[in-house]
Amino acid sequence: MSTTRLAGVLAFLLGVFVLVPLFINLTGRWDFYYTLTSVALLSVAAAGVWLTFYIGRINIGQGAYALTGGYVSAILITQYGVSFWLTLPLAGLFCAAVSVLIGLPILRLRGVYFAMVTLVLTEVARLTALALPVTNGAKGITSIPLPGELSLFGLTIIPDFSTLGNPKLAFYLMATVLMVLTYLVLWRIVNSRLGHLCRSLQQNEELSASIGVNTAMLRVLAYAISSFFGGLAGAIFVAISQSIYPSSFVVQDSVNFMLYCFLGGLGYVFGPMLGTLLLYFGWDLLSIAKEYQLLIYSGALIALMLVLPNGVLSLLDKKGGRK
């Protein structure tokens, strides 16, 4: 790793874990914690969407997995008394398993056909949540306890959130740590052979198969990793709001995940993270424009896509920047 890149990463970590909490402490804008926690979690889900883009599939169905992950966590906690920390990986794994079953047939589709099917998935997930007895229908699952203590060999690693004076900060740290880990994994995937194979798939599936790549397996693998991220993000969202309803994640959310990737840049690992930050914050900031909020927001989106079709991060390329 080059020194500039290392410096960049260190500056980023310093900003996220030291400067932001410091800034919030000084200004007293505690609501920023909630916003930034959301950004971190949304960018985890968007990272998954980005990975499906990387194999050449437009994924507008991440909301389905966020919802599924959220429900898995909520049900395990409230009905089976499982620790939140254990439900987190379980939610991810459950989503990955479901996505394998769904992905096997639908990943054979390409282009707009795959996109349309995934668009429907979110709605299917919502209707399923409404219909199943275990999800408690439209009433949803509420009063979910805050994450408990995580201890290993009697050693407390993470204290019980309900005993904390400032759970907002705790959630912020949890979400950002998860975000950093997610992007570390994503970066490693893209820069290892797995990523090169994904790129070969994105550019030409027939050729990829003829050089011996098991394209069906690779597509499902990438989609499963993608859904794993979606499930994780969903589970933490539920822990924060302590409740989940069938409408907690809707089609609009799925579309947003895709937009974050587009706007940040599909060619850049950190594109979805930046895209999420800009769009989510941008939307919040524009609330001062009241009834013109959506108009300005959409106008800015269209302008950005026209001016920077390869995403905001493509600005770096002109200076010979990094990928």
Partner 1 sequence: MTPILQIKGVTKRYGGLTANNDITFDVAPQEILSVIGPNGAGKSTLFKQIAGFVTPTTGEVIYKGTKISGLPPHKVARMGVVRTFQETTIFKSMTVRENVIVSHHLRSKASLLGFFFGSAQAKADEAEFGKSADDIIDFLGLQAIRNETASNLPQGHLRALGMAIGLATHPDVILLDEPFAGMNHDETMRMVALVRRLRDERGLTVLLVEHDMPAVMKISDRIVCINFGEKIAEGSPAEIQANPRVIEAYLGSEDAAIGM
Which residues form the interface with partner 1 (CB under 8 A)?
188-189, 192-194, 196-197, 199-200, 203-204, 206-207, 209-216, 221
CB of 218: closest distance to partner 1 in angstroms?
9
Measured torsion, CA atoms of residues 116, 117, 119, 122, in degrees rounded to the nearest 10: 170
Alpha carbon of residue 190 to chain centroid: 17
Report the alpha-carbon distance of residue 52 to residue 70 in Å, rounded: 21
Q: How far is the CB of 16 from partner 1 (least distance, A)?
A: 24
How distant is the alpha carbon of residue 272 from its chain centre?
Answer: 9
CA 90 to chain centre: 16
Q: Whose CA is closest to 106, among 120, 117, 94?
A: 117
Q: How far is the CB of 187 from partner 1 (least distance, A)?
A: 11
Q: Which is nearer to partner 1, 100 or 189 (CB)?
A: 189
CA atoms within 13 A on the CB side of 294: 1
The crossing angle, in degrees rounded to 10, of helices 293-307 and 251-264 is: 40
Task: Report DSSP state, residue 246.
Answer: T
Cα gap 318→236, rounded to integer Å: 37
- Looking at the Cβ atoms of 194 and 286, the one nearer to partner 1 is 194
Minimum CB separation from partner 1 for residue 92, in Å? 17
Residue 200 or residue 254: which is nearer to partner 1 going by CB?
Answer: 200
| Residue nearer to partner 1 on the CB measure, 214 or 241 | 214
Q: How far is the CB of 192 from partner 1 (least distance, A)?
A: 4
- Using the minimum distance from each CB to partner 1, give the nearer residue, 28 or 212: 212
User: Measured from the CB atom, is 120 or 194 closer to partner 1?
Assistant: 194
- Is 62 in contact with 259 (CB distance < 8 Å)? no
DSSP secondary structure letters along 61-111: -HHHHHHHHHHHHHHHHHHH---HHHHHHHHHHHHHHHHHHHHHHHTT--H
Q: How far is the CB of 207 from partner 1 (least distance, A)?
A: 5
d(CA 244, CA 87): 15
Minimum Å distance from CB 93 to partner 1? 16
- Is 46 or 186 the residue whose CB approaches partner 1 more closely? 186
Q: Looking at beta carbons only, is 84 or 229 nearer to partner 1?
A: 229
Shortest distance in whole angstroms from residue 301 CB to partner 1: 25
